[in-house]
């Protein structure tokens, strides 16, 4: 029989440990090897047996989760899923955890979720653990823990245009697990006069603003969390806020975004497919669609619709994807005109939009 995925839970709340244990052990393909209250006990368990996946609270006494995470990634990289609170401090710490090598971050269950046995939380956690278990540790180390050479900005002719016009192209990007670092690598390589960009990255609410603010400090372009009515302008990337769909709209020659509520699509809000579908309707061939690393299939059908509408479509290749889920589904549908390594995507964006 196939060996179950072994999970080590590290959380200082006994209630959370019990909830996570019950959820994970409810799936026959997963087995909780231990649930411990702090990193010191976790380190002892890891010495006895290496888990396939770790769920880690990053706000704990004695040793904080970030310090523990850095130690793990420097000694024995393994898939780590972060549980974090929805506070400003929690979101900043969670982003640091992703930079230090964590695979993904999910919000810590609330008392309401505990009482209601939130199925969305349960299903997402189970899917994430299964996706994490097949991520190669060498890939985690390569993509997250090694020091990278400074990214060379893509050189393109300088344009004096400030507003998007009907003949100009807009870039739409979708990503999920592993996507925060992939998006950072792309945006930091783009020049200040890049085309307008709209991004859906699957993240809990409250994290997307911190993510956008962090990127804004690192990039030549402006990066901000999208607000309802924001215009699409050159040199700016808009990131869909967590728990809200973000779609492209047009008024005359002006393109802008609408941020709205709505039903989850592919179990996500924001959904990549929702963004891509709006790009099909309002941009058509004046669009470049990019689908990056991520779990599941969100964005695959939307990328196909973009291709059929005349847009240039790109899927990240398997070798550079942390989780080859969303790009793989798009490739199955023959939705991608190009299948490229992450490091080549900034140049492709420029070539397709700024000729």
Kindly tell me the burial class for residue 138, based on how many C-beta atoms sit within 10 Å of its own C-beta (0-12, 13-18, 19 or more): exposed
Helix, coil or strand: residue 280? helix
| Distance separating alpha carbons of residues 224 and 45, to the nearest angstrom | 41
117 is catalytic: no
176 is catalytic: yes
The catalytically annotated residue of 84, 85, 91, 176 is: 176
For 345, phi then psi, to 5°, come to -70, -40
273 is catalytic: no
CB 308 within 8 A of CB 296: no
**By C-alpha distance, which of 293, 295, 297, 284 is closest to 314?**
293
Q: Name the E strands within the chain.
A: 5-10, 30-36, 53-57, 80-84, 104-107, 170-175, 197-201, 222-225, 236-239, 245-251, 254-260, 287-291, 312-316, 338-340
Q: Which helix (DSSP H) or strand (DSSP E) does residue 10 occupy? A: strand 5-10
Cα 174 to chain centroid, rounded = 8
- Both tokens assigned to 231: 């215009």
CB 268 within 8 A of CB 202: yes
Cα 320 to chain centroid, rounded = 14
The catalytically annotated residue of 124, 193, 298, 321 is: 298
| Distance separating alpha carbons of residues 219 and 222, to the nearest angstrom | 7
Q: What angle do CA 136, 142, 144 make, to 5 degrees?
A: 100
Helix, coil or strand: residue 343? helix
What is the length of the chain?
Answer: 355
Around 95, how many Cα atoms within 13 Å sit in the side-chain half-sphere?
21
The catalytically annotated residue of 202, 245, 268, 273 is: 202
Which residues belong to the active site? 176, 202, 298
């Amino acid at each position: 029989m196939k060996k179950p995925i072994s999970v080590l839970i590290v959380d200082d709340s006994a209630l959370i440990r019990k909830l996570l244990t019950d959820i994970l052990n409810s799936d026959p393909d997963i087995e909780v090897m231990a649930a411990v209250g702090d990193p010191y006990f976790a380190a002892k368990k890891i010495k006895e047996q290496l888990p396939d996946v770790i769920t880690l609270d990053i706000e704990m006494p004695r040793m904080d989760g970030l310090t523990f995470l850095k130690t793990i990634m420097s000694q024995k990289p393994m898939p780590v899923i972060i549980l974090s609170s929805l506070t400003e401090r929690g979101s900043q710490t969670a982003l640091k955890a992703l930079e230090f090598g964590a695979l993904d971050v999910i919000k810590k269950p609330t008392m309401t979720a505990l009482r209601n046995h939130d199925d969305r939380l349960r299903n997402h956690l189970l899917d994430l653990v299964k996706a994490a278990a097949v991520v190669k540790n060498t890939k985690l180390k390569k993509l997250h823990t090694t020091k990278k050479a400074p990214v060379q900005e893509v050189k393109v002719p300088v344009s004096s245009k400030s507003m998007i016009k009907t003949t100009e192209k807009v870039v739409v990007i979708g990503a999920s697990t592993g996507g925060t670092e992939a998006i950072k690598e792309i945006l930091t390589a783009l020049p200040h006069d890049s085309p307008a960009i709209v991004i859906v990255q699957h993240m809990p609410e409250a994290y997307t603003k911190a993510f956008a603010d962090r990127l804004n400090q690192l990039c030549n372009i402006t990066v901000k969390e999208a607000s309802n009515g924001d215009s699409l302008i050159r040199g700016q990337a808009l990131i869909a806020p967590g728990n809200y769909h973000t779609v492209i709209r047009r008024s005359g020659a002006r393109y802008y975004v609408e941020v709205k509520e709505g039903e989850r699509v592919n179990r996500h809000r924001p959904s990549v497919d929702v963004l891509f579908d709006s790009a099909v309707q309002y941009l058509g061939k004046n669009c470049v669609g990019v689908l990056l690393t991520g779990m599941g299939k969100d964005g695959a059908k939307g990328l196909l619709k973009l291709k059929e509408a005349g847009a240039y479509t790109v899927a990240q290749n398997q070798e550079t994807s942390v989780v080859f889920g969303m790009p793989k589904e798009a490739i199955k549908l023959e939705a991608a005109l190009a299948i490229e390594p992450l490091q080549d995507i900034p140049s492709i964006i420029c070539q397709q939009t700024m000729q």
